[in-house]
Structure 1
Amino acid sequence: MKFHDLLLMETQRERESLIAIPIIQSALAGQIDRQDYVAFLTQAFHHVRHTVPLLMACGARLPARLEWLRTAIGEYIEEEMGHQEWVLDDLEACGADRDQIANSAPAEATELMVSYAYDTIARGNPVGFFGMVLVLEGTSVALATRAAETIESSLGLPRNAFSYLRSHGDLDIEHVGFFEQLMNRLDDEDDRRAVVHAAKRFYKLYGDVFRTLRQDAQTLAVAA
């Protein structure tokens, strides 16, 4: 069995638990309000802004035997540069205060997820960072475009309020094929174990972002 197939099999339960989270199911059914969507985008900004720094940190820590993977990271960096600005554009289109959100602090769940990503790279096996890539890109492909269509229809927001979701649904389809090729080239068991372990953790951590989203949406509403 190729490693990418094994990775999906080993993390199936965690993936299903994430997709089953009530607010995600509500989004797919078009049953969330503007406050929920703004809260989601706010937390997306707080982790997306770390994507390029995390990729850079991962690339710097890879051993010489994984030079091919470092080269691939360079391609990822080029693709991911500036995506946090897309999120802020969407927030502005929703009527949110762009500067206020850009200067805000992340929710606890988002902070912990990002911190774990940095810790995986710095303290553990840096290849484990690709467990986070699996979770974020895989979730985008599975949910982003469908969610954008139902939310846009139910909330009556302008189309330019969904550039992040729509672009990542489409863009990450290409990324998933690229990711699969990279994972299948990993032939070291420690590297493979690191990716599986991290992916399981990131499904839980990313799930916690969604599980606490409405709590943070209420905080935003009070602040506004």
Structure 2
Amino acid sequence: MSFYESLLEQTSAERNYLLSAPIIAQAMAGTVSLNSYVAFLTEAYHHVKHTVPLLMTCGGRLPERLEWLRDAIAEYIDEEKGHQEWVLNDIAACGADKEAVRNGLPHMSTELMVSYVYDRIARHNPVSFFGMVNVLEGTSIALATQVAGVIQDKLQLPNKAFSYLSSHGSLDLEHIEFFKKLMNQLDNDDDKAAVVHTAKVVYRLYGDVFRSLPLSA
């Protein structure tokens, strides 16, 4: 079994916790409200804006033996720059105040998730960051494109309100293949354990982010 396959197997319970969030069931059923969608985008902004800073922090702390992984991080940075602005533009297309979101604070669940990953990079093992990558990209593939279509049909919003969700569903199909390759190149047991542990915790924390979103009546 490859390490990537093992990672999926070891984190299945935590992944199920995330996917069982009630808001996801509402989104898939087409009963989600505009308020819920804007709340989702708001929390997305508050973690997506940290993607590049987290990548840079991780890359700066990697040991020389993982220089190949630092090169991959440079590719990730080029891919991820500016995505938080996509989210803000989607919020504006929904009729909400994107500047209020930009200048606002995240829900505590989002703040804890982001803070946890910074802490893992700084105090434990910088490779831990890829546990978060596994969660966010895996969730995007499982949900993003399909949910975007259902929500758009329900709420009758324009295409420009779904640039973040729609792009990440298709974009992350490419990313996940790149991610698999990287994970299967890891040959240090401590690095592998750091990825698994972080993925487990981030699945729980991201699940709590979804559980913090308002449900439709």
TM-score (norm 2): 0.98
Aligned length: 216
- Aligned equivalents of 2:173 and 2:48: distance in 1? 18
Residues 1:164 and 2:164 aligned together: yes
Q: What whole-Å deviation, never above 9, does each CA across 1:171-197 have from its counterpart, x for those lacking one?
A: 001000000000000000000000000
Deviations 1:12-67 (A, max 9, x none): 11111211111111111111000000000000000000000000000000000000
Partners in 1 of 2:15 and 2:36 — Cα distance? 22
Aligned positions of 1:1-224 closer than 5 A: 1-214=1-214
Give the Cα–Cα distance (whole angstroms) in 2 for the partners of residues 84 and 28 of structure 1: 24
Alignment root-mean-square deviation, CA: 1.0
Paired letter, 2:206: Y
**Percent same amino acid at aligned positions?**
62
Offset at residue 86 of structure 1 (A): 0.1
Unaligned runs of 5+ in 2: none
In 1, distance between residues paired with 2:90 and 2:205? 24
Q: Which amino acid in the other structure matches residue 49 of structure 1?
A: K
Q: Secondary structure at the match of 1:105?
A: coil
Matches of 2:14 and 2:106 in 1, distance apart?
Answer: 24
Q: Distance in 1 between matches of 2:153 and 2:103?
A: 30
After superposition, give the CA deviation of every residue in 1:83-126 in whole Å (9 maximum; x if it has no partner).
00000010000001111111001110000000001001000111
Secondary structure at 2:36's aligned position in 1?
A: helix
**What secondary structure does 2:104 align onto?**
coil
Following superposition, which runs of at least 4 residues in structure 1 exceed 3 angstroms of deviation? none
CA distance in 1, matches of 2:71, 2:202: 24
Give the C-alpha shift of residue 213 in structure 1.
Answer: 1.1
Matched residues in 1 for 2:39 and 2:110: separation?
12
**One-letter amino acid of the counterpart of residue 116, structure 2:** Y
| In structure 2, distance between residues paired with 1:129 and 1:166 | 24
Counterpart amino acid of 1:169? G
| Structure 1 length-normalised TM | 0.95
Following the alignment from structure 1 to structure 2, what is the Cα–Cα distance between the partners of residues 28 and 168?
17
